[in-house]
Structures are given as C-alpha cells and as structure tokens.
Amino acid sequence: MSNESERFHTYIPRDGHGLPHDPFNAIIGPRPIGWISTQSAAGVLNLAPYSFFNAFNYTPPIIGFSSLGKKDTLTNIEATGEFVWNLATQPLAEAMNQSCAAVPPEVNEFALSGLTPLASLIVKPPRVAESPVTMECKCTQIVQLKGIDGVAAPSWLVLGEVVTVHIEQRLLKDGIYDTAAGEPILRGGGPADYFKIEEAQRFRMFRPR
C-alpha cells in the first residue's frame, strides 16, 4: 500500500485546496435543494434555489437553508418571518435553474421562470403550483455563521418550523411517501452538477435490533 501522502490529497481549507474546483460541496453531496419562495413586506414575490439545505428536526418539524450573502430571500424572511419550500424535480429543473438568475428585487421569479404561484394555507408566500410537494414554514431562527476565530461569515442559516405540508396524492403509495416517484433533483459539486433519484437506485437496510 502506498504511504498516506500518496493516497490522500490533504489540504488546510484556509490555505486553499490546490484543485481546479473546491471539492467541499461535491463531497457533502448530492444535497437536496432548498427552492424557497418568499414575499416582501410590500408583496413582491421571490423564488430562489439554495444548495445548502436540509431537514433538522422531527418534532417540531424544522427545515433550513444557508444564504451565502444577504439576498432577497433572507431580506424577505427577516421582514415577514415566513417562507415556503418547494420540491425541485426533474421536470422542473430548467424552471428552477431560471429562478436563480441574478435579477433586481422587483423582478418576480415566478413569472421569469414560467411558474404559477399557488396560495398557501397559513403563510402569505405562495407555493409553486407545479411542484408536487411543498412545505409552508414560519421562521424560528436566523443565525449568522462564524469561524473558529469568532469572525462572522457573510452567510446566514435560516431555520423554520413547517406549519403545513402539501403532497400530491400520487406520491403516497399505501400511505407511504415514495421518494423516487417525486423525481427530486439534488445538487452535486462543480459548477453545474446535479443528480436525480430513480427507483433502480433504491435499496433497503433496516436498523439493527
């Protein structure tokens, strides 16, 4: 076996990775996409995808995403305390990608992406009507991230409690949500890598008793 220096590419992040593209977000991946719809205090709609997104708690159900920079989504949530997560799927991939265009705050990404806003049940921001699964959320925490040196990073973790869930009936098989049938797309590394989930990739492994 080769020695460790030959086997591993080892680097200190603060000193740079020495590679053509930072591998961090490719290693921690693929990741679900936080396709977040919000509404400004003045009522302007916003829709944007975030690749640092996940679920964090069962009871109460909490999901969250990290905004790298203070973008319109974060500004709207700070002002209203509400947002909606929409499942990004293979059929909606192009529309999702269009919604991440760098446009002024007054631009409605629903219209820009050819998507339909659908009224939510509890919160004011609308859902993406074309998305088969959506979660209405009320913000619980906004945390500015910081490094081990205590210096604040220009990134904010937004957490929200899910107050309503909408699932298309076709995705419930005998009452169990079918992940593959939802056709979710996941964010990989590199400048343009995405992955999809299909039934052929499923395997089952039960916890030991």
Give me the pLDDT at residue 190, please: 78
Q: Residue 196 domain-assigned?
A: no
Q: Is residue 48 part of a domain?
A: yes
CA gap 143, 167 in Å, rounded? 29
Residue 63 maps to a domain = yes
Strand partners, 82: 138
Question: Could you tell me the CATH number of the domain that includes residue 183?
Answer: 2.30.110.10
CA distance 104 to 34: 20
**What residues of the chain score a pLDDT lower than 70?**
1-2
Q: Does 150 fall in a domain?
A: yes
Per-residue pLDDT at 2: 57
How far is Cα 77 from Cα 37, in angstroms, rounded to an integer?
10
pLDDT reported for residue 4 = 75
Q: Are 83 and 139 in contact (CB under 8 A)?
A: yes
Is residue 194 situated within a structural domain?
no
pTM as predicted: 0.93
pLDDT of residue 3: 75
Q: Report the domain count for the chain.
A: 1
Range(s) of the domain holding residue 99:
4-189
Inside any domain, residue 156: yes
